Amino acid sequence: MLNKYLPVTLITVVGEIKRYEHEESVLCLISIYVVSGFGPKLVIDHDGGADDAMAIFMALLNEKYFNGPNVVAITTVHGNVDEPQVFNNTQRILSIADRRDIPIYRGSKTALIKSAPSDFYFGRDGLGDNETTVFKPIEAQTDVAAIALIKLSQKYRDALTIVTLGPLTNLALAMKLDPEIISRISQTYVAASYIKSQGLNKIEFNIKIDVEAYYIMIENGKADKITIIPSTQVKQYLNLGKAWRRDVLGTINTDIVRSLNTFERISMALTEDWMPLDPSAMAIVLEPSLVLEKKLTNTSVFLCGKLRGRTTFNFKSKYPNARVIISAEKNVYQHFLIKIFSANINDQNNDDTNTNDTSNDNETDDNDNEDNNYTVDDSNNI
C-alpha cells in the first residue's frame, strides 16, 4: 500500500535499505520522509464546474483525513466557464474547504487555435447559479499555469501527479515550452475522451474545447506517464444515479456536501443519471483499487474535417502512448465517496458546538468584520 503514494526515488532508496537494515529503520525513514513534506504531490488543473468542485473537495478531504497526496497547487483553464469565472470559483471552493493556503495559478483563457462554446451544463457561473458570489479574495500567484507546471515538476521530480479535469491547454503549453516535463512527472491523469466502441458518436467536451491541446499532450506522452479516463467508461461503469446522489450522498450533513448540492442543482434537474466525469477521475487517482481493467493503447485525435475532435484508440499497437481505464467497480466508488465526504462530520459538529457556545460573545465582532467574510452555500436543494 505504501508504494501507491511513494515516488520512484524513495521506493528505490527503501529497497536498498531493506537489504542491510531492519524493517524498523525503513519505517522510520518513511515517517521522516512524510513528516518533512517530501511525500506525493498533486496538482489539479480544472475548468470551474460543479464536477470540478467535487473532485477538488475529494482531494482535499483525502489529504487531511486519509494521508493522501499533498495538494500543492490548483491551476485554472477555460472550459465549463470562462477563465476569470474559473478563478472566482476556485476561490469559492477553497474558502468553503478552509484551504485558502493552496496556491492558485491562472491558466489559458482560450484554446490554442480554435475553441468551442461551453454548454453551461452546470449553470452560467459553473456552480449552479446560486448568486453566492461573495468571498474573501485569494490572490493568484504571479506565474501562469504552464510555467507553474514546469517549475513544480522540477521541484517535486518523480513525486508530482497532475490531474487534468478540463481542456488540456495548460498542459499542452507546458509540454511545448519544456518537452522534458513528462519525464519528471510521476503520473498524469487525463479526464477526457470517448471510446467509439461504446456507442457515443460525438466529441467529448474537454477535447472539443481544445482539440489541438489534446493532440499535443498525447504526442508528447508516454505510456507509463499518461492515464486517460474516458467519459464513456464512466457512463458504463460508474453511473450511480440521481436518486443515490440525492438520497444518500446528498444527505451527508456537512458544509461541503450542502454546497455541492447547490452547485449541482441545475445539472441534476436535466437527467436521472449521475455520472460526472471529474469525481470519477479523482476517485481513480486516489483509490486505484476502484479500477477493474486498464489497457495500453496508441491514441490520437482527428484535427481536421468532419471527424475533428474524434479520438482513436489502437489497443493492438506495438507503440502505446497511454494507458486507458476500461472498467471500474461501482460499489467501491460508492463506498469511497461516502467515506471521503463523511470524514469531517465530527470536526464540523465540534465547530458547530463551539460556535453556539460563543455566539453571544462574538456577535459584535462578526458584525464589525462583515465586509471580510465570504458566503458559503448552505442550502440543501437539488
Q: Read out DSSP for 239-254?
A: ---HHHHHHTGGG--S
* 206 vs 80: CA distance, rounded Å: 9
Cβ atoms within 10 A of the Cβ of 61, count? 22
- Cβ contact 377:263 at 8 Å: yes
* 76 vs 110: CA distance, rounded Å: 11
Q: Read out DSSP for 112-171?
A: SS-------TT-TTSS-S---------PPPSS-HHHHHHHHHHHTTTTEEEEE-S-SHHH
Long-range contacts of 30-38 (CB under 8 A, 24+ apart): 30/2, 30/6, 34/67, 37/70, 38/10, 38/159
298, containing H or E segment: strand 291-301
Q: Which of 47, 51, 52, 125 is catalytic?
A: 47
Cell numbers placing 150: 514546469
- Of 115, 135, 139, nearest to 125 by C-alpha is 135
Distance of CA 44 to the CA centre of its chain: 5
Beta bridge partners of 311: 301
368 assigned to active site: no
- Of 84, 15, 54, nearest to 274 by C-alpha is 54
* 194 vs 304: CA distance, rounded Å: 18
- Cβ contact 198:239 at 8 Å: no
CA separation, residue 24 to residues 3, 8, 29, 135, 315 (Å): 17, 21, 9, 47, 44
Cell numbers placing 290: 476502484
Residues with active-site annotation: 47
